[in-house]
């Protein structure tokens, strides 16, 4: 059997596969587009530099006409967007970025920009300005198993792997785990009896919290 690695795959096939993936997948601005603009464009078209009257720091600044008389981005029209024309031009005098400013965009990167613009050129604020949001919880086979929201993600992954959650740990196991973690020694019989007397026999989550509190105290 011959192991096939990327070295054995023609670069044209890799590029074609990347272009097909970009065209088929939903383009995410922060994940797919912003890194391209940051790598190739904003050094000259952003911040205090607005070469040609174009900036890629905001959508508003990118969709206006630049000094060339054309808009860098025309939402929904990649062929009418100066950005696409310039990054894919075969003329070195027109192609962006200029040769002395770094490498040009790969065909896959150009296709990402084309697909993004064709889809309306949606823009997102930088992730650091967005408030945290709880992701939707995945469906799980046994809705009674998750005790806290994070458990739903664990259960969903286990289900995709064809696995079932382990049985709930006993109060003895919870106390032993916490005591070994925090003290480095197993609990004594007296510790266990005091733990049960404090309510260590109720609910797995309650047992875990009480075990931590009991050992810390």
Distant-in-sequence, close-in-space partners of 89: CB < 8 Å, separation ≥ 6: 95, 96
Question: pLDDT, tens digit, for every residue of 138-176?
Answer: 999 888 888 889 999 999 999 999 999 888 778 888 888
Task: Please give the mean pLDDT across all residues of the chain.
Answer: 81
Q: Are 110 and 139 in contact (CB under 8 A)?
A: no
Quick one: pLDDT at residue 107?
Answer: 93
Confidence band (pLDDT; 50, 70, 90) for 71? Answer: confident
Q: Which residue has the tokens 């070994």?
A: 180
Q: Band the pLDDT of 183: cuts 50, 70, 90.
A: confident
Task: Supply the pTM of this predicted model.
Answer: 0.53
Give the per-residue pLDDT at 1: 40
In 3-state terms, what secondary structure has residue 147?
A: coil
pLDDT of 24 strictly over 70: no
Q: What are phi and psi of 46, to 5 degrees?
A: 180, 160
The predicted pLDDT at position 8 comes to 45
Least confident of 47-51, 95-99, 208-212: 208-212
Measuring CA to CA, which residue among 60, 147, 75 is closest to residue 113? 75
Shortest CA distance to 154 belongs to which of 144, 134, 140?
140
pLDDT exceeds 70 at position 10: no
pLDDT in the model for residue 203? 57
In 3D, which of 168, 171, 163, 178 has the Cα closest to residue 146?
A: 168
pLDDT band at 205 (very low <50, low <70, confident <90, very high): low
3-state secondary structure of 76: coil
Per DSSP, the three-state class of 115 is: helix
100-146 pLDDT, tens digit each? 887 889 999 999 999 999 999 999 887 788 888 888 999 998 888 88
Question: Looking at the predicted structure, is the pLDDT value of residue 2 above 50?
Answer: no
């Amino acid at each position: 059997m011959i192991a096939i690695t990327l070295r054995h795959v023609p670069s044209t096939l890799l590029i074609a596969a990347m272009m097909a993936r970009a065209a088929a997948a939903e383009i995410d601005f922060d994940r797919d587009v912003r890194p391209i603009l940051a790598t190739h464009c904003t050094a000259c078209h952003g911040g205090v530099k607005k070469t040609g009257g174009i900036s890629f720091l905001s959508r508003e600044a990118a969709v206006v006409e630049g000094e060339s008389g054309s808009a860098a981005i025309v939402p929904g029209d990649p062929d009418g967007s100066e950005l696409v024309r310039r990054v894919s031009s075969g003329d070195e005098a027109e192609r962006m970025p200029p040769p002395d400013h770094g490498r040009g965009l790969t065909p896959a990167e150009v296709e990402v920009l084309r697909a993004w613009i064709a889809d309306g050129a949606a823009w997102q604020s930088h992730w650091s300005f967005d408030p945290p949001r709880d992701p939707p919880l995945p469906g799980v086979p046994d809705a009674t198993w998750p005790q806290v929201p994070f458990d739903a993600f664990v259960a969903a992954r286990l289900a995709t792997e064809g696995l079932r959650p382990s049985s709930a740990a006993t109060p003895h196991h919870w106390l032993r785990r916490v005591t070994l973690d925090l003290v480095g020694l197993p609990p004594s019989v007296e510790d266990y009896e005091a733990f049960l007397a404090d309510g260590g026999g109720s609910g797995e989550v309650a047992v875990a919290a009480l075990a931590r509190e009991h050992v810390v105290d």
